[in-house]
Amino acid sequence: MHTTNQSIIVSGGSRGLGLHLGQQFLAAGNRVATFARSRTPAMDDLAAQYGDAFHFAALDAVDAVGVGKFVADVARKFGAIDSLVNNAAIGQDQLLMHTDPATIQNIVNVNVIGPTILSRAVIKRMILQGGGNICNISSICGSRGYAGLSVYAGSKGYLDAMMRALAREVGEAGIFVNSVAPGFFESEMSSVLLPEQLATIRRRTPSGQLSNDANIFNVVDLVISGTTNMQGQVVYVDGGITI
Residue of the chain from 122, 170, 201, 235 that contacts another protein (CB under 8 A): 170
Antiparallel, parallel or unpaired: β 175-182 and 132-137: parallel
CA gap 37, 198 in Å, rounded: 30
Size of the site for another protein (CB under 8 A): 7
Residue nearer to another protein on the CB measure, 84 or 181: 84
Residue 1 or 64: the one with the smaller Cβ distance to another protein is: 64
Angle at alpha carbon of residue 85, lines to 239 and 186, rounded to 5°:
35
Rounded to an integer, what distance in angstroms lies between the CA atom of residue 192 and that of residue 39?
24
User: Which of the stretches 81-89, 96-104, 160-168, 169-177 binds another protein when contact is defined by CB under 8 A?
Assistant: 169-177
Residue 158 appears among annotated catalytic residues: no
Considering the complex, what minimum distance in angstroms separates the CB of residue 112 from another protein?
A: 21
Could you tell me the smallest distance in angstroms from the CB atom of residue 68 to another protein? Answer: 9
Can you state the percent helix, strand and coil of the chain, rounding each to 5? Answer: 50, 15, 35
Helix (H, G, I), strand (E, B) or coil at 35: strand
Of the candidates 50, 146, 152, 158, the residue annotated as catalytic is 152
Determine the interface stretch with another protein among 40-48, 168-176, 182-190, 210-218 (rule: CB under 8 A).
168-176
Among 52, 172, 195, 203, binds another protein (CB under 8 A): 172
The long-range contacts involving 39-43, CB below 8 angstroms and separated by at least 24 positions, are 39/14, 40/14, 40/15, 42/14, 42/15, 43/14
Residues from 102 through 141 that contact another protein (CB under 8 A):
124, 127-128, 130
Distance CA 110, CA 104 (A): 10
Q: Would you say 64 or 198 has its CB closer to another protein?
A: 64
Q: How far apart are CA 180 and CA 216, in angstroms?
A: 8
Please say which residue, 173 or 198, places its beta carbon nearer to another protein. Answer: 173
User: Which chain residues interact with another protein by CB under 8 A?
Assistant: 124, 127-128, 130, 170, 172-173
Query: Catalytic positions, please?
Result: 152
